[in-house]
Amino acid sequence: MAFTTLRGASSGLLAVLKKGPRLRRRRKQAGSAQLEGAVAAPALAAGNAIASLAPLTEVIRQYLDSKDVERVKEAYRFADQAHLGQFRASGEPYISHPIAVTEICAGWKLDAASLMAALLHDVIEDQDVSKQEIAERFGADVAEIVDGVTKLQRLEYASKAEQQAESFRKMLLAMARDVRVILIKLADRLHNMRTLGAVSVEKRRRIARETLEIYTPIAHRLGLNALFRELQDLCFQAIYPNRYRVLHKAMMAARGNRREVLSKIHEAVSAALPAAGIEAEITGREKSLYGIYKKMVEQKKSFSDVLDIYGFRIVVHTLPECYLAMGTLHQLYRPVPGKFKDYIAIPKLNGYQSLHTTLIGPYGTPVEFQFRTRDMDHVAEEGVASHWLYKDPNVSLNDLQKRTHQWLQSLLDIQSQTGDSGEFLEHVKVDLFPDAVYVFTPRGKIISLPRGATPVDFAYAIHTDIGNQAVAAKINGEFAPLRTELKSGDSVEIVTSSASRPSAQWLNYVRTGRARSEIRHYLRTVKYEESVAFGRRLLLQAFDQLNLPYPADDDPEWEKLAKGSGAQSRDEILADIGLGKRLAAVVARRFAPENSMVATTAAVVDEITSTTATPILIHGNEGQAVQLAPCCGPLPGDAIIGGIRLGHGLVVHMEECSVAQRQRAREPERWIPVAWDTNTARHLTTRLDVTALNERGVLGRLAAEITEADSNILHLTMQDEVGSTVVLHLTLQVDSRNHLAQVIRAIRHVPQVKKIVRVKG
């Protein structure tokens, strides 16, 4: 029996009597929609007043049993009542949208729970139906899927962008738990894109750009290529309607002009393959309009240049026949060198498998051929929807499912390292790039990475600890910088050290969302821990100045101080001190017996800057909480002073540094006495300007002397002087001021050297 939705006074009255006060409240909220329906009366009169379930019922009966079909119908009845009185911008009853979404899902042969969730996907968002109500009536599985699809429109956000980012995060994390969430969301977005004509031009373009930026790459990442191409063309049509019309007209004209060449190629291939004993389905393959437009823009080519490539798809029965068919056509037409790709042996990230080759066809025109089996063709068009995932441990996963499951699991890994929804979305976007490179571990395992990925991305793809401890990389047996871009076929080995830590510089060249989130998580965590430790040192110094004992960790004054200053815990107070957000002397006064918070700022400043105060000992390798100022590059042995910089912790300058002197004059309360510890770090950086005669071999002799003095050149630039001299700007690694003096004496052994100056600012 086919179900229909009839809008009228009698059906509305019956619904109100059945549903009671809750539905009357919804009808009141839908009043404006009913008025819009009155305006759209001509459209309704034209036949839009009825939304039929009959086509959907016919499709699902082909693969669902009668019990499941009845469950889907029950979900339809509930959705129909929930959306009563609600209309789309086109004037159609709103229930037509959930039905259309469910029809798309049924085309992928999704299960009954998915179809029920598709019918109900807007009832929480639009009609004030609770998740609990759906769970009680249709089961927890359906309720979880509906909740995953629902946007977060009821919450308050600082901006529309933040709301969208949080909605995407919720949706993607729900997808990581159950991939059916994203399949329904993609079907929802596809139908919305197909019916964009009823909304304003501005809204049309905004929705299309959002689709192109987020949903289209997700469709490609999941292997839904047919959906991917349709969404691209619909977005292109919405964003650039005039360009779309021109290209569409040109494509129609070109299709007629190309018919003769296509027919000749088709006839030749149709004769060659059966002669080799291969039964195949041969179809012409046309590019999408958006693909043509994108290629024209990126490669700055005309329409005729881009379209001057003919495409055919050869679908055979078995995998060996793919290679046999390709060999047969290589004998028929001459292959183009370097234009062969084997995506069967090494599938794409989204599970796509096919052989690609380009041949020189009749009239010297290039012809692209794709060879695949029927199963490969099914996966190529429907991707993960052809074998969508369950978390059933008894179900064995094929390669496509494993890769998809790994990617979905990586979303949860990124989420665990990321607190901000915008940052999470940024990481996910990085992983949605379709291009990939395939590299090998030392044991021969293939790792797929985005194009432009580096050994750092590779290291984090293997394990977080390997990424965190990476110090160097071997690519094809030779040492290479960690920022080197990897190429398909590279064999990569990561050299690690337990003393190594992630660098903020890595964020400039990593490509994967996982690597980026792991590095940021480490830097945030380590900076916080170092700031807590350094804040404790500063506070200990302040307590010493006040002749007070340091309070115990469970002292109730900590909790009072935290509540009064907006901090969450004692550690957060210490971290704020370490980062310069709080003054240690002011915090210490809270623990004084008289709690002398009435002390003047001048008194606090005097105590902090007192020359009799116990100095903070500097090792030089404290981490992010203590930094050696790059403007003057202090070394152990130099007279130093420390300034607490808001958000950066303690910055150590030479006393004679002009930058430090200016800052100290402005904010004296932020400067404290510091001194070098007896056991300082090795390999600190300093700079020298060396003036020398510009003669052959002088640079080699300089490097030899510096090496002999147990130093290392980190950076070198040259500046020509007037005449025969040259100035060398050197950045060196030394251990102390005494070590630097040894290096300078060694450099003086080079007879061409005329002048050596240490750069101090």
- Is-contact 91 37, C-beta < 8 A? yes
Whether residue 68 lies in the annotated active site: no
What is the C-alpha separation between 609 and 282, in angstroms, rounded? 84
Closest CA to 48 of 97, 81, 12: 97
Give 290's contacts (C-beta < 8 A, 6+ positions apart).
229, 232, 233, 235, 236
Where does 405-459 show beta strands of DSSP type E?
436-440, 446-450
Strand bridging mode 366-373 / 355-360: antiparallel
Alpha-carbon distance 450 to 464, whole Å?
Answer: 18
Q: Directed axis angle between helix 374-382 and helix 225-239, to 10°?
A: 40
- Take residue 648 and report the two structure tokens written for it: 């950066």
Q: State the DSSP code for 44.
A: I
User: Any idea what DSSP says for residue 636?
Assistant: B
At residue 166, the 3 state secondary structure works out as helix
Pairing of strands 671-672, 640-645: antiparallel
- Measured between alpha carbons, how far is 743 from 720 in angstroms, rounded to an integer? 23
Taking the mean position of all CA atoms in its chain, how far away is CA 635? 41
C-alpha 377: how far from its chain's center? 29
SS3 482: coil
Radius of gyration of the chain, Cα coordinates, nearest whole angstrom: 34
Q: Got the DSSP string for 294-341?
A: HHHHHHT--HHHHH--EEEEEEESSHHHHHHHHHHHHHHSEEEEEEEE
DSSP per-residue string spanning 485-542: PP-TT-BEEEEE-TT----GGGGGT--SHHHHHHHHHHHHHHHHHHHHHHHHHHHHHH
User: Using CA atoms, how far apart are residues 646 and 582, in angstroms rounded to an integer?
Assistant: 9
- Give me the catalytic one of 36, 74, 125, 485: 125
**Contact status, residue 634 vs residue 654, Cβ threshold 8 Å:** yes
The strand order across the sheet containing 355-360 reads 281-284, 310-316, 366-373, 355-360, 334-342
- From residue 327, alpha-carbon distances to 322, 454, 496, 731 in Å are 9, 36, 45, 59
Please, what is the Cα angle at 211 between 206 and 212, to 5 degrees?
100
Q: Give Cα separations from 474 to 297, 437, 449, 486 (angstroms).
A: 37, 17, 17, 11
- The answer to whether the CB of 313 falls within 8 A of the CB of 326 is no
d(CA 10, CA 6): 10
Residues 518, 427: contact at Cβ < 8 Å?
no
Please confirm, yes or no, whether 399 is among the known catalytic residues: no
Using DSSP's 3-state secondary structure scheme, residue 671 falls into strand
Give first-to-last CA distance, the chain, whole Å. Answer: 86
Which one of 126, 457, 607, 638 is the catalytic residue?
A: 126
For residue 319, which amino acid is it? L
Asked if 184 and 345 touch (Cβ cutoff 8 Å), the reply is: no
Catalytic residues: 125-126
